[in-house]
Amino acid sequence: MLKGPWASRRGFLRASGAAAAAWTLSPAAAQVEVGPPSSLRRLVPAAQLEAAAAQQYAQVLAQARAQGALAPDDHPQLRRLRAIAQRLVPHTLPWNERARQWRWEVNLIGSKQINAFCMPGGKIAFFTGILDELRLSDDEAAMVMGHEMAHALREHARSRIAKTQATGLGLSLGAQLLGLGDLGRLAADLGTQLLTLKFSREDETEADLVGLELAARAAYDPRASVSLWQKMMRVAGSRGLEFLSTHPSGPSRIRELEANIPKVEGLFEQARRAG
């Protein structure tokens, strides 16, 4: 059985919240270079989208539980994932102040899907397929988790929904002054689509780089980002991957990661020595 405050989902929530609260907003400056988050995301109320995500996440877990596919708290792989999250979460606040309020959760669902996600508000799930099929090391699993956390921290879902709905409704910037009710309701209605939301190439690059830095600060080897995507590409060559339907891979992605690894190696070495 897992000992200490991370032994259960409730303990995980307490420990992750305490760790994030203890983290200051003035760590060493970010080493990777990403632009500012999309200002259009403000069209969608963050709290409303996070509430919708929490509801959808609960539904996913309930369905998995009903099918006997939700891993219990003492499952070795779930304990492993929560241990990784314990190290990553304290480094999230510099990327999004709202993360201070998030109730981080990590769960594992028994499925052959090679997939993982982090919903707005810090709701993380891995499918056993991504761990088993790719035989992920802890460093590689941390890269997947950091990538998914980065999507939430950079509020890519919020921005994507705002852009899609603003275009569809023909909204102008001036329309913001008239109220956000329509987009707020749309945010709630679109909660069910969060699992299949496709991000832009720019979003994916941002998530790769921010996730790379999160993992390096948590003492996970940044070189694992390259071996992870090499594994993805090899498996994708033999069969389609659910993960790659929303996370396109390719040599250019690996080259981008390779170019940024030197920027975070110092963080990794420092964290490794401190650990």
pLDDT at 4: 36
Rounded distance, CA 253 to CA 9, Å?
34
Strand, coil or helix: 70: strand
Strand, coil or helix: 241: coil
Q: What is the DSSP string of 82-147?
A: HHHHHHHGGG-GGG-GGGGG---EEEEE--S---EEEETTTEEEEEHHHHHHTT--HHHHHHHHHH
Q: For residue 137, which amino acid is it?
A: S
Q: What is the CA radius of gyration of the chain?
A: 18
Rounded distance, CA 70 to CA 40, Å?
36
| Packing angle of the helix pair 138-153, 156-169 (nearest 10 deg) | 40
The set of catalytic residues is: 148
pLDDT at 255: 92
Per-residue confidence in pLDDT tens, the chain, 275 aa: 333 333 455 555 555 555 554 444 334 567 888 877 776 677 778 888 899 899 999 999 999 999 999 999 999 999 999 999 999 999 999 999 999 999 999 999 999 999 999 999 999 999 999 999 999 999 999 999 999 999 999 999 888 887 776 555 444 444 444 344 454 455 555 555 666 677 888 889 999 999 999 999 999 999 999 999 999 888 876 554 545 555 555 788 899 999 999 999 999 999 999 97
Rounded distance, CA 73 to CA 62, Å?
15
Predicted TM-score of the model (pTM): 0.82
pLDDT at 37: 72
| Packing angle of the helix pair 181-189, 46-66 (nearest 10 deg) | 10
pLDDT at 199: 82
Rounded distance, CA 61 to CA 65, Å?
6
pLDDT at 26: 38
Rounded distance, CA 187 to CA 173, Å?
18
Output the CA angle 92-135-109, nearest 5 degrees: 65
Rounded distance, CA 159 to CA 153, Å?
12
